[in-house]
Structure 1
């Protein structure tokens, strides 16, 4: 179930690109901004969902996922019914709600249920869905858009997601390691109400004539107190995460890495068309991405399991794969031959996609179990806010300025070396 949902979540981004690409009044920067709007909303909502789950661990996380996927389904159908840039941008913001509720909880769930010798391999199969969804977005958006209409691509995906949204409401409740059972959460609620009742009695003692008003203020104070407690707990947990040096270094490298990957996924076909005059750039990049994404991501997970799934080995694999991948991609964009470019770029993508399982393994195992959902959320928030959210518009700005896609892609690819250096340190 989680694999299918993940593919569908990743699929929608490329449909938007294909649909908005035909709007003549949009510059490169505004076109890229449409994608970044969704990612920004996704990061904010994911942080809220993960913090809510951490503070309200007695709730069924699948119920939260079901609500999010329902909003996602409605918003995706809304994208298909949009009539201008702002209408589709608003719907894309709502799409982020569904993505956020799912992503922050899926990795800890897999980590809890995977066999110990194969934890990284299981993670790699899950994160394989990202390049698979992106690549299918190239193909699906192009085929449906050319044969029917781009609106049908959105409507079709909304229909595909609907059964998963319903299933999330009826599936057996999920209990993650590191969280107290539901009874503990109920006990906390009873204690909170008891404290609120004491506060109410104090207010009633001041004046019996205003007992009703005091009671209302007491109920309000209980809600405010619980909110402040949750906010305080979230701040404390975030502070603990930011004090974990291993976690922080891992996320910093991931930010630099995702800056490049985000721009690649958005501008890759357009750059390929302009540099190498590819007549079917979307299909070609989609094919390369899906093969390299699947093979590279799974290989990275299995290699780390064979090396021994430790944080130290994960960093070694991250730095080596990213460095070698950067060399291959950089050399590929220097070549004038299309076939030479495709060969080296394929090798480069195989290497850089091998980082997906190791980088998330470090995120999960460099913190205590109760903070895993929050660690995944903050990691994802960081790589989007500082990575692919600004990268697509910034690459658009750079290209508008230099008007040379080869120079733009070379400048972008060089950032891979920064990521490799951070992970090496």
Structure 2
């Protein structure tokens, strides 16, 4: 690689970054850890993550509060709620406590992914998750289990912001949304399996053993995060070995950059705020996340209060299993169906918004109608159709998050999307629905009020159809021919004392 000192600073840095990307992309993929196996591993991790969400919501694990009859006869209740004597509001707080860890850790993990191997970050996070899940089983009061749930959020943060960009990078171009759909299908599937798992384990051997079992399931993947050979993530350098000349250039550039900000920490913070400004300037991204917040407000409360509401309204004998069955069928069919439909429509941002708004609107109609009927079988049919429609959004909504920003911002875009939908969506929804139920003491009314928020989500996503959009998937990629032309013009322009350069990345 020929180079001189005369290339302008900004262009020189761009050329170095381009060479870094070309060098890393030229490396062969690990022989065993193929893209399909990557998808499988990430799907299993995601499923275990959401098995935990389903299990803590079940009657077998969450239980029922202590109660007393008019004659003064009191019952001890069952599960977490009974053992720690929690009202519905405090019980809802437990379901939302993970958000504290998620809120703090997600931006940190997303920013560190630019300089530290993302697979190692996932290993750290899943190790924390494993210990926290076991800690839930050992908890002795409301505050101890709440702190453990916060640490569960830290573990989720390391994984959720990095998994989707890896999948989108390695999926076949014509099947990107379908691969994302398979990954996000594990959310409703995991919750549904968690309902059954929590109900069976909690009822048979006790709620604490449900958390111990989750920790055992996650432990191998925490170890795998430290030992497996990573794949390259688009837009990230991640410890790639560079030619010696480029190493010198990058080292010199980094040392100057660090000294200008005073320290590595201040440099990281400065870069984070710059990335956040770039992220929030994308109107399409903001509209998409706002719709996702409203959508998740409903889904989060459904997943937590669903079994209890179903048991109260329809006297379901096996509420955990029945609600889990509806969720798993609706989740698998809806998520895969929506993703495949978007690929067939041609995966574009406007088409994704059309699918989001249409599916959510009609899903809201069916779910709302389901709670209006007293017959259990009518409810099951209508609610199942509604679940299929609302889960059709999972692939398209995350496709928009990934493709409205340049590749180097995708981990942060996923992290902030996840933080936003939780902190403004399912975190307040579970306690608020619990508070509403404490006031009205009617699960049918509470369910109808909650379901109406789906219409708001559909309306917000409908706005996105009319906004101008640009797919920025390849925006970080520089055009080598353009840079070479610029360099050649500089070198051939004049030899009278001007320093010139021709720079072309090594293959």
TM-score scaled by structure 1?
0.90
Q: Which among 34, 37, 47 is matched to residue 107 of structure 2?
A: 47
Give the corresponding residue for 2:88.
Answer: 28
Give the corresponding residue for 1:13.
Answer: 53
Q: CA deviation at 1:14?
A: 2.7
Q: CA deviation at 1:405?
A: 1.2
Q: Which among 237, 256, 275 is matched to residue 275 of structure 2?
A: 237
Conserved 8 A contact 2:330-2:384: yes
**Residue 326 (structure 1) aligned with residue 364 (structure 2):** yes
Q: CA deviation at 1:67?
A: 0.8
Judging changes above 3 Å, is the alpha-carbon distance between structure 1 residues 7 and 186 closer, same or farther for their aligned structure 2 residues?
Answer: farther
For the residues of structure 2 that align with 1:195 and 1:303, how far apart are their CA atoms? 46
Larger Rg: 2
Per-residue CA distance 1:218-240 (angstroms, 9 max, x = gap): xxx98x52211111111111111
Give the corresponding residue for 2:450.
Answer: 412
Per-residue CA distance 1:306-353 (angstroms, 9 max, x = gap): 111000110000000000000000111101111101100000000000
For the residues of structure 2 that align with 1:186 and 1:329, how far apart are their CA atoms? 58
Count residues in correspondence.
Answer: 398
Give the corresponding residue for 2:141.
Answer: 84
Give the corresponding residue for 2:329.
Answer: 291
Conserved 8 A contact 1:40-1:384: no
Q: CA deviation at 1:369?
A: 0.9
Q: CA deviation at 1:186?
A: 6.5
Per-residue CA distance 1:184-241 (angstroms, 9 max, x = gap): 7976555445777xx7xxxxxxxxxxxxxxxxxxxxx98x522111111111111111
Give the corresponding residue for 2:156.
Answer: 99
**Residue 270 (structure 1) aligned with residue 308 (structure 2):** yes
Give the corresponding residue for 1:146.
Answer: 203
Q: CA deviation at 1:174?
A: 3.2
Give the corresponding residue for 2:347.
Answer: 309
Conserved 8 A contact 2:117-2:238: no
Give the corresponding residue for 2:422.
Answer: 384
Q: CA deviation at 1:180?
A: 3.3
Judging changes above 3 Å, is the alpha-carbon distance between structure 1 residues 275 and 369 closer, same or farther for their aligned structure 2 residues?
Answer: same
Conserved 8 A contact 2:57-2:303: no
Give the corresponding residue for 1:346.
Answer: 384
1:251-270 matches, within 5 Å, as 251-270=289-308
Judging changes above 3 Å, is the alpha-carbon distance between structure 1 residues 130 and 195 closer, same or farther for their aligned structure 2 residues?
Answer: closer
Give the corresponding residue for 2:38.
Answer: none
Q: Which among 171, 179, 187 is matched to residue 122 of structure 1?
A: 179
Q: CA deviation at 1:16?
A: 2.7
Structure 1: 4+ residue segments shifted above 4 A: 183-196
**Residue 71 (structure 1) aligned with residue 128 (structure 2):** yes
Q: CA deviation at 1:181?
A: 5.6
Give the corresponding residue for 1:364.
Answer: 402
Q: CA deviation at 1:375?
A: 0.5
For the residues of structure 2 that align with 1:396 and 1:170, how far apart are their CA atoms? 43
TM-score scaled by structure 2?
0.76
CA RMSD of aligned residues (A): 1.8
Per-residue CA distance 1:53-105 (angstroms, 9 max, x = gap): 13x2xx21111111111111111111111111211111111111211111111
Q: Which among 397, 402, 416 is matched to residue 440 of structure 2?
A: 402
Conserved 8 A contact 2:165-2:233: yes
For the residues of structure 1 that align with 2:247 and 2:182, how far apart are their CA atoms? 36
Give the corresponding residue for 1:202.
Answer: none
For the residues of structure 1 that align with 2:189 and 2:140, how far apart are their CA atoms? 29
Matched residue SS, 1:128? helix
